Structure 1
Amino acid sequence: MSDYDAIVIGGGPAGTTSATLLAEKGHRVLLLEKAKFPRYHVGESLMPFCYFSLERLGVAERMDEIGYQQKKSVQFATTDGRISAPFYFFQHFDHPAATTWQVEREHFDLMLLDNARSKGVEVRENTAALDFLKDGERVIGVRARTHDEDPFEVRAPITLDCTGRDALFQRKHGWRKRDPMLNKISIWTLFKDAKRDPGLDEGATTIAYLPGGGWFWNIPLRDGIVSSGIVAERDYLYRKGETRDPAEIYAREIENNAWVKDHLSQGEQFGEYWIAGEYSYRAEHCATDGLLLVGDAFAFLDPVFSSGVFLALKSGEMAADATHAALEKGNTSASVFAKYGEDLCGHIETMRKIVYAFYDPEFSFGKLIRAHPNLRPKLTDLLIGNVEDVDFTDLLKAMSEIAELPEPLTHGQPAATV
């Protein structure tokens, strides 16, 4: 007996995308979200190709109506304050998607959750999934609890784990495998009325370098707010015998980039300092019988190119399509999600290579483009999230001449089941 066709755990972009698209296909979908929205979340900068997922969800036109800060480019700042030529998306891509957005995730995620409700998804907030119901090794549903009420059980032929970095199934089954090289720490906070660049560059994401391979992000939001974060090695941020206070570390590092110092000196920090560490991982498997991992619940790469929300939305689409096909065939065994795992891992691997190149001390985008000016369009394709329609073989080969690129990870396919 099944209560629903699909259970989705998690109300972030991956969960709401999967749930909405499944409901639009006529499936009975239950979405469980442990928090009450709106709630704060980091990850404010959208890649241009997020547009196509948002368009499919029916919310793309609402983004400008809401008034999110428009983002037209990405730029890079050296430690002495010199800015690269911005990667203007519209110079490469003549499409409405060439203008994307910087969003407050508490508002953006609530919009997506409300959209799921409007499309027929049954949404239960303040409801935490506690564990997975199983028949042998097959997942057949979820045990959950709302507030302090008694736990309850719900069943479905397929459960989609979209629990973000909490990664419920990964954690309970020991599936998390950390990336062997991307062991970074992030500290971030918010500023009010910091300096903004003029004109087209007002909403640009700026990646500002720090000594030793670290970097700042600078993401302008609405209402004079800037999201500012540091990503670096643990030993760089937490130096032996020095402060471990995040505010003091932040003040110290602002002095190490002239562009950041200039822009933040005019602003006022407010709110808390958040910290996250060693967040680059991929699950050993993307699926088992009756269960599929989506978004950050499957993998998270690195914050440097703002791929988190993009991969959440993209994997949400892919998961919905794969799940719909499985439900239509009456088969939700792990093996039917092999193509989902192959395609998603392929997208992640392409982006993973450019992340590794970014952290290689011998690499710079300027060096790459000077040596191969003809490859700038493909580099821009990668930076905007056009990972399906472009053959990046020549770009990756050129990058490998400068930086040491990783071999593909072998894990991430469905679990072998009987």
Structure 2
Amino acid sequence: MKLERDVIVIGAGPSGAISSALLKQRGWNVLVLEGQRFPRFSIGESLLTHCLDFVDEAGMMPAVERAGFQFKNGAAFVRGDEYGDFDFSDKFTKGRDSTFQVQRAAFDKVLADEAEKQGVEIRYETRVTAVDNSGAKPRVRAVDAKGVEYEVEGKFLLDASGFGRVLPKLLDLETPSKFPVRNAVFTHVADGAAPDAFDRNKIQVIVHPGHRDVWFWLIPFANGRCSLGCVARKEFFDTYPAQLEERLKKLVSEEPFLTRVLANATWDTPARELTGYAANVKSMHGKGFALLGNAAEFLDPVFSSGVTIAMRSASMAAGLLDRQLRGETVDWTNDFEIPLRKGVDTFRAYVKAWYDGRFQDIMFAKTQPPGIRAMICSILAGYAWDQSNPFVAEPERRLDMVAKLCAA
């Protein structure tokens, strides 16, 4: 059996739902092939405000607002008895002042359902097993839940498969990340915290008291639950219990803030592990295809940049692809990959500064140079492509400069 569509999208997560909806709105026949059945578990639960710009562009904001997700207005950082936070209303770049913290199973289903309502065809529990882009049109081989195999030919292929990284694996595009190999252990808990135990409107990023390159996330949801995770190198985790829940409990017991906040928590969800998550590719595009979000590159969860990068890449790709399908000549390197990587590289500089200690020195400094907080806050809100922001235009130099001033 052979099908023909204008565009084939691999994956129905945020980048797949956004890109397919935007292309459908422009009149193209889009088929999304999703390997799992929604709702399904995923992390990346603390959205940045810039995410909602693309949700709005795709016409999905009313549905997201109706879903009752946890309001988020910033980010908080904890290191021992030191505490600092950012409020998204105090930022350099114009944009939204709030966003949501979401259980991704529900959030991703809302977006996918909205794409379907707009006319996008989504086939769940369908795996892409082979890709051939040697001809005039790319073709994929797919297998559904019943084992039925078929071929789909399209004018273009977008890979929105996230950590599944379908095209990088099938087309030998993967290349090692320059980041050290780190793992994440995480779960969901019923936190049982008192209303005033911590600020539920902000993600909490907590530094391990004995290891400044080991950190926890605590992401509150609207239903009295939290996402809880710890990020560290494998060698560090190897010194803790092999059973993941016991490992995470032991780590939490070593951190005073989490010990207090989660004193009455119910651990009712099996812990999971993501190993060696940092990834990169030789190129974000090729003959007849482009890679979106995590399918192209994933940095690190510390600044929650993954979904923002995914959605921005989806919006950019949809606009370019629409022009290409209408007969225009499109330069995917100069109009997609290079500008997308500028923001990714901004986030990269901040991730690097987090682990080498410079960002922590700035965050927990008793005094900070005037105006600096607003510029950094814009990046934490997701506006990492705003070249008018000096901390976007020159992230490494500016971070170095301010870290030295704060340490003086």
TM-score of the aligned structures, taking structure 2 as reference length: 0.91
After superposition, the Cα gap between the structure-2 partners of 1:347 and 1:395, relative to the gap in structure 1 and judged at 3 Å, is: closer
Instruction: Provide the secondary structure at the position in 1 that maps to 2:205.
Output: strand
AA partner of residue 341 (structure 2): C
AA partner of residue 144 (structure 2): T
User: What is residue 199 of structure 2 aligned with on the other side?
Assistant: 201
Residue 54 (structure 1) shift: 1.0
Residue 248 (structure 1) shift: 2.1
Does the Cα contact within 8 Å between 1:2 and 1:157 map onto a contact in 2? Answer: no
Instruction: Provide the secondary structure at the position in 1 that maps to 2:269.
Output: strand
**Comparing 191-200 and 63-72, the one that deviates more:** 191-200
After superposition, the Cα gap between the structure-2 partners of 1:101 and 1:375, relative to the gap in structure 1 and judged at 3 Å, is: same
Matched, 1:358 2:354: yes
Distance 2:172 2:401 in 1: 37
How far does the alpha carbon of each residue in 1:342-364 deviate from its partner, in whole angstroms, 9 at most, with x for none? 01111100110001001113542
The alignment of Structure 1 onto Structure 2 pairs a total of residues equal to 397
Does the Cα contact within 8 Å between 2:182 and 2:277 map onto a contact in 1? Answer: yes
After superposition, the Cα gap between the structure-2 partners of 1:277 and 1:196, relative to the gap in structure 1 and judged at 3 Å, is: farther
Residue 401 (structure 1) shift: 3.8
Instruction: Provide the secondary structure at the position in 2 that maps to 1:372.
Output: coil
User: What is residue 409 of structure 1 aligned with on the other side?
Assistant: none
Distance 1:6 1:387 in 2: 29
After superposition, the Cα gap between the structure-2 partners of 1:394 and 1:143, relative to the gap in structure 1 and judged at 3 Å, is: closer
User: What is residue 164 of structure 1 aligned with on the other side?
Assistant: 162
Residue 93 (structure 1) shift: 7.2
How far does the alpha carbon of each residue in 1:265-292 deviate from its partner, in whole angstroms, 9 at most, with x for none? 1211111111001111121111111111
Distance 2:162 2:289 in 1: 15
How far does the alpha carbon of each residue in 1:308-358 deviate from its partner, in whole angstroms, 9 at most, with x for none? 1111111111111111111112668xx544420001111100110001001
User: What is residue 410 of structure 1 aligned with on the other side?
Assistant: none
User: What is residue 40 of structure 1 aligned with on the other side?
Assistant: 41
Match of 1:270 among 264, 268, 271: 268
AA partner of residue 214 (structure 2): G
How far does the alpha carbon of each residue in 1:146-200 deviate from its partner, in whole angstroms, 9 at most, with x for none? 1123310111110111111110111123322232234211000111033256399
After superposition, the Cα gap between the structure-2 partners of 1:245 and 1:81, relative to the gap in structure 1 and judged at 3 Å, is: farther
Distance 2:214 2:140 in 1: 41
Instruction: Provide the secondary structure at the position in 2 that maps to 1:309.
Output: helix
Distance 2:400 2:281 in 1: 26
Does the Cα contact within 8 Å between 1:190 and 1:228 map onto a contact in 2? Answer: yes
Residue 114 (structure 1) shift: 1.0
User: What is residue 343 of structure 2 aligned with on the other side?
Assistant: 347
RMSD across aligned C-alpha pairs, in angstroms?
A: 2.4
Matches of residues 90-169 of structure 1 in structure 2 within 5 Å? Answer: 90-92=89-91, 97-135=96-134, 140-169=138-167
Distance 1:327 1:159 in 2: 12
Instruction: Provide the secondary structure at the position in 1 that maps to 2:371.
Output: helix
Residue 95 (structure 1) shift: 7.6
Matches of residues 4-403 of structure 1 in structure 2 within 5 Å? Answer: 4-78=5-79, 80-84=80-84, 86-92=85-91, 97-135=96-134, 140-195=138-193, 198=196, 201-210=199-208, 211-212=210-211, 213-239=213-239, 243-329=241-327, 335-364=331-360, 365-366=362-363, 370-389=367-386, 390-391=388-389, 392-393=392-393, 396-401=396-401
How far does the alpha carbon of each residue in 1:46-92 deviate from its partner, in whole angstroms, 9 at most, with x for none? 001111111111122333322111011100011x24322x2011233
After superposition, the Cα gap between the structure-2 partners of 1:148 and 1:63, relative to the gap in structure 1 and judged at 3 Å, is: closer
Instruction: Provide the secondary structure at the position in 2 that maps to 1:271.
Output: coil
Distance 1:117 1:220 in 2: 29
Distance 1:75 1:244 in 2: 30
Does the Cα contact within 8 Å between 1:369 and 1:376 map onto a contact in 2? Answer: no
Distance 2:120 2:375 in 1: 38
Instruction: Provide the secondary structure at the position in 1 that maps to 2:326.
Output: helix
**Comparing 388-397 and 176-185, the one that deviates more:** 388-397
Distance 1:397 1:93 in 2: 18
After superposition, the Cα gap between the structure-2 partners of 1:369 and 1:321, relative to the gap in structure 1 and judged at 3 Å, is: farther
After superposition, the Cα gap between the structure-2 partners of 1:244 and 1:139, relative to the gap in structure 1 and judged at 3 Å, is: farther
Instruction: Provide the secondary structure at the position in 1 that maps to 2:206.
Output: strand
After superposition, the Cα gap between the structure-2 partners of 1:354 and 1:139, relative to the gap in structure 1 and judged at 3 Å, is: farther
Distance 1:106 1:350 in 2: 28
Does the Cα contact within 8 Å between 2:64 and 2:110 map onto a contact in 1? Answer: no
Distance 1:347 1:40 in 2: 27
After superposition, the Cα gap between the structure-2 partners of 1:279 and 1:256, relative to the gap in structure 1 and judged at 3 Å, is: same
Instruction: Provide the secondary structure at the position in 2 that maps to 1:70.
Output: strand
User: What is residue 414 of structure 1 aligned with on the other side?
Assistant: none
AA partner of residue 229 (structure 1): G
Q: Unpaired segments of 5 or more residues in structure 2?
A: none
How far does the alpha carbon of each residue in 1:18-39 deviate from its partner, in whole angstroms, 9 at most, with x for none? 1000000001111111111111
After superposition, the Cα gap between the structure-2 partners of 1:49 and 1:300, relative to the gap in structure 1 and judged at 3 Å, is: same
Instruction: Provide the secondary structure at the position in 2 that maps to 1:91.
Output: coil
Percent of matched pairs sharing the same residue? 26
Distance 2:375 2:263 in 1: 36
After superposition, the Cα gap between the structure-2 partners of 1:362 and 1:151, relative to the gap in structure 1 and judged at 3 Å, is: same
AA partner of residue 283 (structure 2): H
After superposition, the Cα gap between the structure-2 partners of 1:200 and 1:103, relative to the gap in structure 1 and judged at 3 Å, is: same
How far does the alpha carbon of each residue in 1:216-248 deviate from its partner, in whole angstroms, 9 at most, with x for none? 000001211110000011111112xx5322122
How far does the alpha carbon of each residue in 1:113-154 deviate from its partner, in whole angstroms, 9 at most, with x for none? 111111121111121111113335x66121101112331011
